[in-house]
Structure 1
Amino acid sequence: MRTPGRPDRSASLWVVAALASGPLVSLGLARFAYALLLPEMQDRFGWTYAQAGVLNTANAVGYLLGALAGAGAARRWGTRRVFLLGTVGTTLALALTALAPGYAALLATRALAGAAGALAFVLGGALVATATSGHPPAAAARLLGLYYGGSGLGMTIAGLLVPLVLERSGPLGWRWGWLSLAAVGSLACLAALLGLRQQADPPPRGVEHRSWRRGSIGWVTAGYVLFGLGYIAYLTFAVAYLAELGAGAAQVAVFWAVLGLAATVGGLAWAPLLGRLGGARGMAAVLAVLALGTLLPLWQPRPWAFLLSAVLVGGSFLSAVTGVTIAVRHVLPAPLWTAGLGFATVAFGVGQSLGPWLSGAVADRAGGIAAGLAASAALLLVGAVLALPQREARPVRNRPS
């Protein structure tokens, strides 16, 4: 029997697992799976790396707009309703991408996927923060890791599904690839709906919280901007780098599946450290590991190095988001969690919007994607340094009664 006044952790676990459908669709399918489809689309349309990067920049710009609108939409229509709208809208955008007739239409559908995905991802994070309220730091970090790990599950599914679809679908395989992702997204929407039935909206922002000091989370937000600039290059161009080195479909599928599996469980592995260090210092450690993982295949462009890189990057990048969420919870009162996460996500979205174009432009000018990946690793290291000065008021651990 559950002790009165204490959180029901088993209920929280199942709710968070269902809400993880939001990251699965918004990031795992809509954003990161683009890397699997990019080589075939690039060959078919003759894009430069910069043009290919701009499509993910369009997705990131849409994400930025969605993050800007998310808090206001949640206050007006309810966090749960807008979260579901974002999950369904992202799935619709995946289907529309398959039908796009050209580059301009692809830009529009990628932007739509980003905007809807931001609603799902950010507001889902606010719902999970509410569901884990009252949990000890380590337990809350594990549940947040489970939520953000939904992105990794989406990547794993895409890594196993998309190469098979491309291999069997002929010259229009990229279109069938997007449709297959939309089919997976439809199932995820049903799971999200089930989770929402058991979760309440976050508490409304009171009059005393209508204005708040953004600088209170300034350092961790600055690190988050650099994370946005740096991590997205790897997840946009790693498969293109493999193709540049002559990798076949089987090697790409294994690489992406390992990346996704590592992302699925990585949040749980990082949770104890994040619980001890706090959000900002934990995020700095995550960014340092990401930089190492990004540089590894540049130093040793061999299959074992790519697999180890996939473990390091896949197992770490979502924990940067967990770190920011923990920091916001430690610094701000509960009624400001949605606003704080929205503000940090908007800043992150600025970096993420520039990252794909920047790394693609560096790759075009330097003669290969390796240069763009090296630049992104440097940005990640700078982000780790920027996050360290952030102060957090650590919560008191609940004592057993």
Structure 2
Amino acid sequence: MNNLAPTRAFAASAGTHPAREAAIACMIVLAVALGIGRFAFTPLLPLMLHGGGLDIRHGGWLASCNYAGYFVGAVTCAALRVEPARMVRVGLAVTVLLTLVMGLTNQFWIWAIVRFVAGVVSAWTFVFASQWGLRRLAELGSHQWAGLIYTGPGVGIVATGLFVSIAGRLGATAGWLGFGLAAAVLSVLVWRVFVAAPAGLPAAVSASGESTTHPASPAAPATTSSARPPHRADAFWLVALYGVPGFGYIITATFLPVIARHALPGSAWPDLFWPMFGLALIVGALGAARLPHHWDNRNLLAACYVLQAAGVASGIVWPTAGGFALGSMLIGLPFTAITLFAMREARRLRGDHAAGLMGYATAAYGVGQIIGPLVAAPIAVHTGSFSPALWLAAGALLLGALGLTWVAHRPHRE
């Protein structure tokens, strides 16, 4: 009976509402898989650089290894034939192991392999936790709890960022080991929530985490964004332009603490900008889900791109605590909203057959993330500043916004 204690404690904290329990469990999974397994690298990177075992160029390579792994994980999800609850458990266990390994070695080649595998596992866990959670909420007729699930990455980012700001003097090794132990505790907390679905009620999964409901489940409302009928080239432009924010945000998301520490030496503020990014992400995840579904997704995406471009530029033109704080919030606020609006647009274009389009779009976003650190790190090494790379990212976001606006309003000529 003792092994049921964590489950009972979790149930008590979640209340008796089964939809709320499912949403909170998925939120915790995403906090572990993404907030820790994927994004804990960002606040720990300055400590790894300070320790002498890493330089900016190799830090960029480690970041790109992780994003390459996420790309591979995203595009291979559709080929996996694993029950979602089982994959969630595997993802939690592997994330704990990989996080601990980061603190148990200082060999670059091992770090590179670990970060790549962590990227793969975080993509798989994100997709299958999304599938399990969305299906469970559909069964319960409680779609309104879906927004809570996607606050998970923000919760993890806030927690890891605050931990480093408080205990950063202990060093990167202690940070990785501490995050690994925290991931283990959280995994135990939700482990028994993820049970296999009843036989005969499968749900298809896409590379984006979108799930299709089974016949016994109430279907999610279809997206009706834009009165214009789909154009045959719209799918191409969605894929091409969805890759832009992957490149646009990732340079700041990877190197923000490093950039801020260089601009504000001796200040306590740099350690707080990453948690601010996470808090803004949480607000954006909850707020985007409440926007009217009939608004054109491409216009919403364009607005998100402009916000992120302003956030990237803020730290360049105003390299103060206020500028970096504003930039962190402007980049974080639309972070999850961008994914939501892009997936809605894919559903508008392809309906229940949108899985392939979602996969291609996710892959394009992943390519942008891979390229970003590989471009930024060499520029920073040669120029002594991240500013040229950040201006490049801001410019790409603005061009992407213009492209989306053009696609949304151009006349259709078949």
Which of the residues 262, 265, 268 maps onto 2:280?
Answer: 262
Distance 1:324 1:84 in 2: 28
Distance 1:202 1:337 in 2: 18
Distance 2:340 2:140 in 1: 15
Which of the residues 309, 312, 317 maps onto 2:327?
Answer: 309
1:2-401 pair list within 5 angstroms: 11-45=18-52, 47-73=54-80, 76-131=81-136, 143-167=145-169, 169=170, 173-197=171-195, 203-204=203-204, 217-248=235-266, 250-273=268-291, 275-334=293-352, 336=353, 339-388=356-405
- Pairs aligned (count): 365
1:159 maps to amino acid: G
Q: Which moved more, 1:111-120 or 1:38-47?
A: 38-47
Contact 2:69/2:120 (CA < 8 Å) preserved in 1? yes
Q: CA 1:386–1:14 in 2, change beyond 3 Å: closer, same or farther?
A: farther
1:302 maps to amino acid: T
Q: Which moved more, 1:267-276 or 1:84-93?
A: 267-276
> Aligned to 1:52, what secondary structure does the other structure show?
helix
> Counterpart in 1 of 2:4?
none
Q: CA 1:72–1:151 in 2, change beyond 3 Å: closer, same or farther?
A: same
Distance 1:144 1:222 in 2: 27
Distance 1:143 1:221 in 2: 28
Q: CA 1:184–1:193 in 2, change beyond 3 Å: closer, same or farther?
A: same
Percent identity (aligned): 27
TM-score (norm. length: structure 2): 0.79
Distance 1:230 1:283 in 2: 13
| CA positional deviation for 1:366 | 2.7
Contact 1:79/1:202 (CA < 8 Å) preserved in 2? no
Q: CA 1:28–1:385 in 2, change beyond 3 Å: closer, same or farther?
A: farther
Q: CA 1:325–1:17 in 2, change beyond 3 Å: closer, same or farther?
A: farther
Q: CA 1:320–1:247 in 2, change beyond 3 Å: closer, same or farther?
A: farther
> Aligned to 1:179, what secondary structure does the other structure show?
helix
Distance 2:297 2:96 in 1: 31
Cα RMSD after superposing both structures = 2.9
Contact 1:64/1:346 (CA < 8 Å) preserved in 2? yes
Contact 1:145/1:319 (CA < 8 Å) preserved in 2? no
Contact 1:222/1:387 (CA < 8 Å) preserved in 2? no
Q: CA 1:149–1:45 in 2, change beyond 3 Å: closer, same or farther?
A: same
Contact 1:93/1:113 (CA < 8 Å) preserved in 2? yes
Distance 1:294 1:97 in 2: 29
Contact 1:279/1:325 (CA < 8 Å) preserved in 2? no
Q: Deviations for 1:191-211, whole angstroms, at most 9, x for unmatched residues?
A: 553543497775248xxx9xx
Question: Any stretches of 5+ residues in structure 1 without a counterpart?
Answer: 1-9, 392-401
| CA positional deviation for 1:384 | 2.6
Q: CA 1:230–1:312 in 2, change beyond 3 Å: closer, same or farther?
A: same
Q: Which moved more, 1:77-86 or 1:145-154?
A: 77-86
Contact 2:86/2:196 (CA < 8 Å) preserved in 1? no
Distance 1:58 1:18 in 2: 28
Distance 1:155 1:306 in 2: 17
Question: Any stretches of 5+ residues in structure 2 without a counterpart?
Answer: 1-16, 206-211, 213-231, 409-414
Distance 2:251 2:239 in 1: 19
More helix by share: 1
Q: Which moved more, 1:363-372 or 1:183-192?
A: 183-192
Q: Which moved more, 1:15-24 or 1:338-347?
A: 338-347
| CA positional deviation for 1:340 | 4.4
Distance 1:125 1:386 in 2: 30
Q: Deviations for 1:362-382, whole angstroms, at most 9, x for unmatched residues?
A: 222332112222211122223
| CA positional deviation for 1:178 | 0.7
TM-score (norm. length: structure 1): 0.81
Q: CA 1:78–1:383 in 2, change beyond 3 Å: closer, same or farther?
A: farther
Q: Which moved more, 1:320-329 or 1:102-111?
A: 320-329
